[in-house]
Amino acid sequence: MFGCAMGAGSEKSSWDILDQRFARTLRALSRSNLHLPPASRPSPDDLQCFQRDVHRFMTNLGDRSLGWGWKLPETYLLGNFVAASFPEARLVHMVRDGRDVAFKYHRTDRPEQHLGRRTLEHLGMLGQPHHVQAAASWAFQVERFLRFSKRWPHPIHTLSFEALLRDPEGEMEQLAAFAGRPMTDECRRMLQGQVNPAKIGEYRRHDPAQVAEIEARIGPTLRKVGYQVAERATGMTRLPVLSS
């Protein structure tokens, strides 16, 4: 769902579209709705805020004949807002191995970021080592989307970051078919040379004890989205939203 970079123009074939005002709106809505069930109906005021800023964002884009979207992953927490605003949308769920994510930094797992602090507070993870915080945040978001997706009435296209790196053209062909849009020669040219297996399984370069701790916490979620996990993983992730 909205979180892929889309955009094209006469001077650049593709770029990340960034609108700080829109980004702040999404982050604020994500923070204030973390505690609610992922498929719940947004409050009228929050939904109006979301739709107003989406409309402003789209209006400012100008020509949208080649597609539109935004690379603001916070939207991953706002599936119910997307559903209420775009009930016929075709959702694309792209997921990356949570063990790799655990050794990186994102807005949703950094205590110095407002959304990160709110997420970690919600999970009871403040004060934990960063690899634990990031792993728990990843699992929380994935589980939240999976729960939301069970009520989505239309097909959802799922792909993995790793598959995209191994076979970018093949994966994009499938994505284009799902979206009902042609796979252009320009897109194929952009994908040439994009195979990068070195970014797959980066967690293996880190402390095995930390990897084992991560797998023990998020093993069940990793398995749900197709990743193999050692049998030692017992699953200790705290996901309070699932009991809402």
In this predicted model, which residue has the larger pLDDT, 196 or 146?
146
pLDDT band, residue 63 (cuts 50/70/90):
low
pLDDT band, residue 13 (cuts 50/70/90):
very low
> Could you tell me if 122 and 241 are in contact, meaning their C-beta atoms sit under 8 angstroms apart?
yes
User: What average pLDDT score do residues 42-51 get?
Assistant: 96
In a domain, 11, yes or no: no
In a domain, 8, yes or no: no
How many domains is the chain partitioned into structurally? 1
In a domain, 4, yes or no: no
Q: What percent of the chain has a predicted confidence (pLDDT) above 70?
A: 84
In a domain, 14, yes or no: no
Domain that holds residue 42: 20-243
In a domain, 91, yes or no: yes
Q: What is the DSSP string of 87-147?
A: TT--EEEEE--HHHHTTS--TTS-TTSHHHHHHHHHHT-TTS-HHHHHHHHHHHHHHHHHH
Domain holding 43: CATH number?
3.40.50
In a domain, 3, yes or no: no
> Could you tell me if 23 and 107 are in contact, meaning their C-beta atoms sit under 8 angstroms apart?
no
